[in-house]
Amino acid sequence: MGMNIQETIASPLVWHPQTAAEAWQLKQTYDIEAVYTSGGTLLRTQWESGISAMPQHLIDLSAIRGLNELRVGEAGLVVGGQTSLQSCRSNALLSRHFPMVTEAIRTIAAPSVRQLATIGGNVASSIGDSIAALLGYDAEVIWFDGTREHRALLSEWLHEASAAKRGNERLLLSVLLPFEESLGETPVSNGAEDLTSQMKRFGAYHKVGRREAFTPSVVTACINGVLTCSNVIKQIRIALGGGQTVPVRLEGLEKEISGADVDGQLLRHVYDRTIELFEPREDLFASAAYRKSTAANLIVSELWKAAKDNTKQL
């Protein structure tokens, strides 16, 4: 057996910029002939499946200084875009403070793919399975426009990326996860525990695929919130994605239910509104209707569980 077809017809030049400014300049110079390349794992999938051709230039981002580490910054945990998903998966700070991100990453591909794949590539693709969990923590991104760094909410960055005509061409540097109110123990996925004596924090991330493990997602769902001891919703974030759908926060629904009691009527409302507001992309394997009801069931059941656990502890 010889080389595969992409290797015989194309052999891109690979650039190794040392700074974000150099990387950005290379992209300006070679424009559509060049792609930013982190781990290259999603790009490889796209080249092999014929979704896109191998470009003439790869701009390898791995040598840019300071982007492959995870550190505590002033505003939260800063995850450099070049950090491999497997380093994120095994990072104690990340799993302690943002367990749903760790859980989301655990379900992405397999460890061997995650050695190459980066968090930056996952987010910049706009459809990575880490995104719903990051949205659940109100993550921000730091990106570079050729002159300076910008900080933006991930939800806005994604919104602009899907609106942009030529897709997302902004150079992503890092992901910023703001620490939640309590810096003590934060919730383990699917659990609930003390925020103050009056409040319970709860959260869960789910990925539904067509197999149990090592599978692309059909739906990703994240819920993160705070309940009072009488089951009034004090804070809530709901994020949904999966497959080729760019993940979104259901901010309209979040506003509607903030301050409300979790009871049967509210759960019905959450179900109906999730079906209305979530607009997943369908494919040959799963319809939009299936994805909507899967997402609605996941969110409602987690909210119900959190309220039930809360009542049990009284």
Partner 1 sequence: MSEEAVKSESPYVLRCFVNGKEELIDTKPAARLLTIVRDELSLTGTKRSCEIGRCGACMVLIEGKAVNSCLTMAYQCSEKQITTIEGIAVQGMDPVQQAFLEEGGFQCGYCTPGMIISVKALLDENPDPSDDEIAEALSGNICRCTGYGGIWRAVKRAAEGRRQTT
Ligand X SMILES: Cc1cc2nc3c(=O)[nH]c(=O)nc-3n(C[C@H](O)[C@H](O)[C@H](O)COP(=O)(O)OP(=O)(O)OC[C@H]3O[C@@H](n4cnc5c(N)ncnc54)[C@H](O)[C@@H]3O)c2cc1C
Q: Which does 48 bind (CB under 5 to 8 A by kind): partner 1, ligand X, none?
A: partner 1
18 forms part of the interface with partner 1 (CB under 8 A): yes
What CA–CA distance (Å, rounded) separates 130 from 123? 7
133 forms part of the interface with ligand X (CB under 6 A): no
DSSP-derived 3-state class of residue 286: coil
Nearest to partner 1 of 214, 285 (CB atom): 214
Any idea which residue has 């959190």 for tokens? Answer: 306
Q: What angle do CA 49, 54, 59 make, to 5 degrees?
A: 130
Q: Which of 33, 68, 80, 86 binds partner 1 (CB under 8 A)?
A: 86
Q: Which does 112 bind (CB under 5 to 8 A by kind): ligand X, partner 1, none?
A: partner 1
What CA–CA distance (Å, rounded) separates 88 from 149? 23
Q: Residue 10 Cβ, how far from partner 1 at the closest point, in Å?
A: 8
What CA–CA distance (Å, rounded) separates 114 from 10? 26
What CA–CA distance (Å, rounded) separates 58 from 195? 47
15 forms part of the interface with partner 1 (CB under 8 A): yes
Query: Based on the number of CB atoms within 10 Å of its own CB, is 268 exposed (0-12), middle (13-18) or buried (19 or more)?
Result: exposed
Strand 57-60 vs strand 34-37: parallel, antiparallel, or unpaired?
Answer: parallel
122 forms part of the interface with ligand X (CB under 6 A): yes
Q: Which of 92, 183, 213, 314 binds partner 1 (CB under 8 A)?
A: 213
38 forms part of the interface with ligand X (CB under 6 A): yes
Q: Residue 240 Cβ, how far from partner 1 at the closest point, in Å?
A: 24
Question: Residues near 66 by Cβ (< 8 Å), separated by ≥ 6?
Answer: 80
Single-letter amino acid code for the residue at 52: S
Tokens of 127: 């459809």
In the complex, the residues that contact ligand X under the rule CB under 6 A are 35-43, 45, 61, 81, 85, 108-109, 113, 116-118, 120-122, 124-125, 128-129, 171-172, 216
In the complex, the residues that contact partner 1 under the rule CB under 8 A are 1-4, 7, 10-19, 21-23, 25-26, 39-41, 44-45, 48-49, 54, 58, 60, 62-63, 86, 106, 109-113, 115-116, 213-214
